[in-house]
Chains A and B, each alone.
Chain A
Amino acid sequence: MAIAEPPVVQAEPPPPPTRRSARAITWARRRRAVAAHWRVYRRNRQGMWGLAILLIFIALALAAPLLVDERRLEPAFSTGIPFQPPSADAWLGTDKFGRSMVDLLVYGARISLLVGFTATVGTMLIGSVVGIAAGYYGGRIDALLNAFTNWFLVLPWIVLAIVLASLLGATLFNIILVIAITSWAGTARLVRAQTLTVKERPYVERARALGAGDWHLITRHILPNVFPVIFANTVLTVALSILSETTLSILGLGDPNSVSWGVIIEESFSSGALTAGYWWWLIPPGVCIVLVTLAFTMCGYALDEILNPRLRER
């Protein structure tokens, strides 16, 4: 345990204005770092493609209420003819209620992306709290949390998800909750490992020697240094969350009242769309899922290559 030299204390008096400027400096440094990363990222073709696809889908999801009349998605008010193949009226045909597939896909983007993002936020929150707590505090807390994490890693997620989904009922919120509960453990392990390395860095030890509290150390030093590493992981988690939601939906555990892409697949499959030849009902939602998860995965790998310099070509 190296003890930092005391003079630093005097060298850095803490009057409010200086502090504010210190923060400004930090922010400026971070902005520069982000800009530098962005320059590297821009050169990554894979990452740029992923980003482009993502932006299109996000734009669609955000603009959905402007593009599609929500009333037309209410089965009782839909005026279309069911099971119509693609035509000028409905570019991708219609479903069993005569609703336009395009409308459904656009609204599906909203729900699938919502699930992907919120489930990821949940996963990251639980994972980061557990991981940082374990890595930072160490000792008995670490042993306990680590054991807990390892237990969750061995639980068969699909069975656990099934039980939870049926226990809680099929609402969108519950689906998100189930995904977060079943997938945080991997993140926690990653965060813990990273926290352990960051904790040992000299500037953290110096700050601790200066009497910085746990909260300060965690929020100012550990988190900012752990974040880049888990950022790539976060982006990949979104893809996994969307896939998980699809799997749950295909097993009939989705929320049938929020028509995500996964729910569309389940509806078409359980109505026998494939044998009936209604390909426009089953293929497009799957393609959307592939595109979005692919996009997230490509962005994630691109970020991984940038933030994890060992992967960069030498």
Chain B
Amino acid sequence: MRGVRRTAAAAIALGVIAALVSSGTALAQSPTESPQEKVVFDVGVDSDITGLNPFNLCCGPDYEYLELVYDLAIGFSREDLSPAPRIVTEWTPSEDSMTWTMKVRDDATFHDGTPLTAEDVAFTFTLISKYKMPFYKDYFPFDPTFEVLDPTTVVWKSTEPTFAPEIPAYAPVLPKHIWGRFDTVEGTPSADEAKEVRKAVKEFENNPPIGSGPFRFEEWKKGQFLRFSFNDDWWGGDSKTIDEVVIRVYDSDEAMVQALRSGEIDFAEGVSPPLFNTLKNDPNITTHIADGGCWGNIAYNFGGQGETATNHPAIKDLRVRQAIAHAVNKQEIVDRVYQGTAVVGDSILMPGKNGFWYTDIPTELEYPYDPAKANQILDDAGYLDTDGDGVREMPGGGEPLNFEVMTITDVEGSVDTGRLLKGYLQEIGIGVKFITVNTNKAYDLWYTGEWDIYVWDWCPDPDPDFMLSVFTTDQCLGWSDGCYSNPEYDKLYEAQQRALDRNERKAIIDQMQLMIAEQLPVMVLNYWSDLQAYRSEWTGFRPSPNVENGLLLFGYTTVDTYLELTFASEQAPGTGASPGLPAWVWIAVAGGVVVVIGGAIAARRRRVEDEA
């Protein structure tokens, strides 16, 4: 009896293992034998998207998602980021620049099959401007209204002369048949009504998102990946090879680069400088330094935030700021903090992103690195070290020049730049006390003015207006770094807003850039790079804008690049498969576990029975 039971147990165990093995191998093989191989292009990024709702976007890969799934009304040329036809193919102003007529293309369809017409464009613009949707509303100044003349014509009516329609609104064209339900208020909404609508719009999950862009949304596994498939009905043409785009999220750069090396992903976005430099030597990988669109800076606190402000009196002295500028070795910061991947910067507008508007600052206003001169300036200005402790005091003695320098842990390069800055300032007799905080805490201190110098960054829009506004007096307790105030600058700012001629506006903006460079409310240290790398078997990338450091992907309208990529190798690259042990190893392990546990149970039972 006993023997029979044991044999039966063993037979069952064996049967289970056999079944597992056979079914397992069968299943493991089936997907690889599927007849049609999809070409998948895997992109690695370092953070997940915020959400699928275009009104909740903020950073990182959000915009790539937006451009894959949606179309912009007016896009950007990949040559120089100037306005380029997209859904809107033509836009013509009236004589007085108050009325703009826009032509909408007639061959666009949303992913659910509904045709995209002028109605959808007008609706999107109306939704944004009528309810003052944050972030997008600035593209629609002076309370415009939008009128649909026919399915291919929209008229933008402004209450004041404007060139706004020409600036591509970085807003997706939304399907009216889906979003229309939020436009609930007839006529002009009251403040409260608008608020209610904004809330409802922002809470909309928008899953699945329906757009008219080159790729359809397939799935989003939060914290893992997003999958998109090519939209065969796209108005803009066909995809050469790619059937699917997958955006994979990696928490660490380390893991992302490993994945690129193993072929798990085809493209890595935003690689950190040291890793980027090692990828340069990898024969299978091509690296590309692109314009990162942000500049690193140190900013000064002029006070004015109220009673809490603890700004140092010496900061207001231009000579002190000039001395610091001479003491800082910008090239060394680029080399040591960014491992040579950033570029020394000079103006608050960027040569790449702001192309047309950027002014090269003359050398004398860049205050080149010269610690001796810096010391001389401070000596001449009467900041002397009278007590011999290595730190200068205010003229006539008194408060020593010890500055509170705020560095921010989650801003790349901020802490390290601060550490170098400490050494530079030490060389000219200025002491540094660090306040190292995360961004949230930094906002608190920023608003209360409890700092003297901070190391942070700005990322200007392609249109310079916002960046220029940051240094106006009105922005104190708004976006101003340290409540810098200069009436002359404020006047120029207003003048550039009223200038309707591009070249006239540029002349004013040039003057403003020079003024900031000279007056140093901030010191522009460097222009960051976006470090991109891809598997070398892929070809078809071209930088946008078409300069050496244009972006390959993740730029304005670079989404078209996905359609042009091809690969040159026998095997389809980037199937997205991760390395790992083959199925049979795991089956063997599972079998082993079953045998061991089964054996242990059998042994135990035998012992119990023996003793019984």
A and B in contact, CB less than 8 Å:
yes
Which residues of A are at the interface with B, using a C-beta cutoff of 8 A?
A: 74-77, 82-83, 96-98, 166-167, 169-171, 252-253, 255-257, 269-278
Which residues of B are at the interface with A, using a C-beta cutoff of 8 A?
A: 252-254, 257-258, 261, 272-275, 277-278, 329, 332, 336, 339, 407, 409-410, 415-416, 419-424, 426-427, 434-438, 440-441
Quick one: given A76-B420, A96-B339, A170-B409, are A271 and B435 in contact (CB under 8 Å)? no
Offer 12 A-B interface pairs, CB within 8 angstroms, sorted by A. Answer: A74-B422, A75-B416, A75-B420, A76-B419, A76-B420, A97-B416, A255-B436, A256-B415, A270-B253, A275-B254, A275-B258, A276-B274
A252 to B253, CA, bound (A): 14
Residues of chain B within 8 A (CB-CB) of A167 are 441
Residues of chain B within 8 A (CB-CB) of A269 are 252, 254
Closest Cβ of chain A to B507, distance in Å, is 39
A76 to B407, CA, bound (A): 16
Instruction: Please name the residue on chain B nearest to A255 by beta carbon.
Output: B436
Residues of chain A within 8 A (CB-CB) of B257 are 272, 275
Task: Assess whether B275 is in contact with A275, with CB atoms less than 8 Å apart.
Answer: yes
- 10 A-B pairs with the lowest CB-CB distances in the bound complex, closest first: A76-B423, A272-B275, A276-B278, A271-B274, A256-B415, A75-B419, A275-B257, A76-B420, A170-B436, A74-B423
Closest Cβ of chain A to B446, distance in Å, is 14
Residues of chain B within 8 A (CB-CB) of A169 are 435-437, 441
A170 to B275, CA, bound (A): 26
A257 to B423, CA, bound (A): 13
Task: Assess whether B274 is in contact with A273, with CB atoms less than 8 Å apart.
Answer: yes
A26 to B409, CA, bound (A): 53
Excluding A83-B274, A271-B275, 14 further A-B contacts by CB distance (< 8 Å) are A74-B419, A75-B420, A75-B423, A76-B329, A76-B420, A76-B422, A82-B339, A169-B441, A170-B436, A257-B436, A269-B252, A269-B254, A272-B253, A272-B257
A74 to B420, CA, bound (A): 8
Task: Assess whether A275 is in contact with B434, with CB atoms less than 8 Å apart.
Answer: no
A171 to B437, CA, bound (A): 9
Quick one: given A166-B440, A166-B441, A256-B436, are A97 and B415 in contact (CB under 8 Å)? no
Residues of chain B within 8 A (CB-CB) of A275 are 253-254, 257-258, 261, 275, 278
A274 to B258, CA, bound (A): 10
Task: Assess whether B409 is in contact with A276, with CB atoms less than 8 Å apart.
Answer: no
A180 to B290, CA, bound (A): 46
Pick from A97, A170, A273, A274 the residue with the most CB of B within 10 Å. Answer: A170
Pick from B252, B274, B435, B437 the residue with the most CB of A within 10 Å. Answer: B274
A277 to B273, CA, bound (A): 14
Residues of chain A within 8 A (CB-CB) of B272 are 270-272
Residues of chain B within 8 A (CB-CB) of A276 are 274-275, 277-278
Task: Assess whether B419 is in contact with A274, with CB atoms less than 8 Å apart.
Answer: no
A277 to B261, CA, bound (A): 14
Residues of chain B within 8 A (CB-CB) of A253 are 409
Task: Assess whether B336 is in contact with A82, with CB atoms less than 8 Å apart.
Answer: yes
Task: Assess whether A272 is in contact with B254, with CB atoms less than 8 Å apart.
Answer: yes
Closest Cβ of chain A to B181, distance in Å, is 39
Closest Cβ of chain B to A19, distance in Å, is 50
Residues of chain A within 8 A (CB-CB) of B434 are 257
Closest Cβ of chain A to B336, distance in Å, is 6
Residues of chain A within 8 A (CB-CB) of B416 are 75, 96-97
Q: Is the interface of A mostly helix, strand, loop or mixed?
A: loop
Closest Cβ of chain A to B450, distance in Å, is 11
A169 to B450, CA, bound (A): 14
Pick from A98, A275, A277 the residue with the most CB of B within 10 Å. Answer: A275
A233 to B22, CA, bound (A): 54
Closest Cβ of chain B to A247, distance in Å, is 16
Instruction: Please name the residue on chain A nearest to B438 by beta carbon.
Output: A166
Residues of chain A within 8 A (CB-CB) of B278 are 272, 275-277
Closest Cβ of chain A to B404, distance in Å, is 12
A74 to B336, CA, bound (A): 13
With beta carbons under 8 angstroms apart, the residue of B254, B261, B274, B423 that contacts A77 is B423
Residues of chain A within 8 A (CB-CB) of B435 are 169
A82 to B277, CA, bound (A): 12
Quick one: given A270-B253, A270-B272, are A170 and B422 in contact (CB under 8 Å)? no
Residues of chain B within 8 A (CB-CB) of A278 are 274
Closest Cβ of chain B to A164, distance in Å, is 12
Closest Cβ of chain B to A275, distance in Å, is 5
Closest Cβ of chain B to A57, distance in Å, is 26
A76 to B435, CA, bound (A): 19
Instruction: Please name the residue on chain B nearest to A273 by beta carbon.
Output: B274
A257 to B419, CA, bound (A): 8
Pick from A167, A271, A274 the residue with the most CB of B within 10 Å. Answer: A271
Instruction: Please name the residue on chain B nearest to A271 by beta carbon.
Output: B274
A103 to B411, CA, bound (A): 27
Residues of chain B within 8 A (CB-CB) of A74 are 419, 422-423, 426
Instruction: Please name the residue on chain A nearest to B273 by beta carbon.
Output: A271
Closest Cβ of chain A to B259, distance in Å, is 10
A167 to B415, CA, bound (A): 18
Instruction: Please name the residue on chain A nearest to B328 by beta carbon.
Output: A76
Instruction: Please name the residue on chain B nearest to A272 by beta carbon.
Output: B275
A276 to B257, CA, bound (A): 9
Instruction: Please name the residue on chain A nearest to B432 by beta carbon.
Output: A257
A169 to B434, CA, bound (A): 11
Instruction: Please name the residue on chain B nearest to A171 by beta carbon.
Output: B436
Residues of chain A within 8 A (CB-CB) of B275 are 271-272, 275-276
Closest Cβ of chain A to B600, distance in Å, is 31
A108 to B32, CA, bound (A): 51
Residues of chain A within 8 A (CB-CB) of B273 are 271
A270 to B410, CA, bound (A): 11
With beta carbons under 8 angstroms apart, the residue of A96, A166, A257, A274 that contacts B336 is A96
A96 to B438, CA, bound (A): 22
Task: Assess whether A256 is in contact with B409, with CB atoms less than 8 Å apart.
Answer: yes
With beta carbons under 8 angstroms apart, the residue of B336, B339, B437 that contacts A170 is B437
Closest Cβ of chain A to B374, distance in Å, is 14
A211 to B549, CA, bound (A): 85
Closest Cβ of chain B to A35, distance in Å, is 47
A147 to B261, CA, bound (A): 53
Closest Cβ of chain A to B14, distance in Å, is 44
A19 to B123, CA, bound (A): 94
Residues of chain B within 8 A (CB-CB) of A76 are 329, 332, 419-424, 426-427
A210 to B416, CA, bound (A): 64
Residues of chain A within 8 A (CB-CB) of B419 are 74-76, 256-257
Closest Cβ of chain A to B497, distance in Å, is 39
A167 to B257, CA, bound (A): 33
Residues of chain B within 8 A (CB-CB) of A274 are 254
Instruction: Please name the residue on chain B nearest to A275 by beta carbon.
Output: B257
Residues of chain B within 8 A (CB-CB) of A83 are 274
Closest Cβ of chain B to A6, distance in Å, is 63
A255 to B274, CA, bound (A): 22
A147 to B311, CA, bound (A): 46
Closest Cβ of chain A to B595, distance in Å, is 36
A76 to B421, CA, bound (A): 7
Closest Cβ of chain A to B375, distance in Å, is 15
Residues of chain A within 8 A (CB-CB) of B422 are 74, 76
A185 to B258, CA, bound (A): 41
Closest Cβ of chain A to B298, distance in Å, is 14
A255 to B409, CA, bound (A): 9
Residues of chain A within 8 A (CB-CB) of B277 are 276
Closest Cβ of chain A to B439, distance in Å, is 10
A74 to B422, CA, bound (A): 8
Instruction: Please name the residue on chain B nearest to A167 by beta carbon.
Output: B441
A256 to B416, CA, bound (A): 9
Residues of chain B within 8 A (CB-CB) of A98 are 336
Instruction: Please name the residue on chain B nearest to A166 by beta carbon.
Output: B438
Instruction: Please name the residue on chain B nearest to A259 by beta carbon.
Output: B419
Instruction: Please name the residue on chain B nearest to A74 by beta carbon.
Output: B423
Residues of chain B within 8 A (CB-CB) of A270 are 252-253, 272
Residues of chain A within 8 A (CB-CB) of B440 are 166
Instruction: Please name the residue on chain A nearest to B274 by beta carbon.
Output: A271
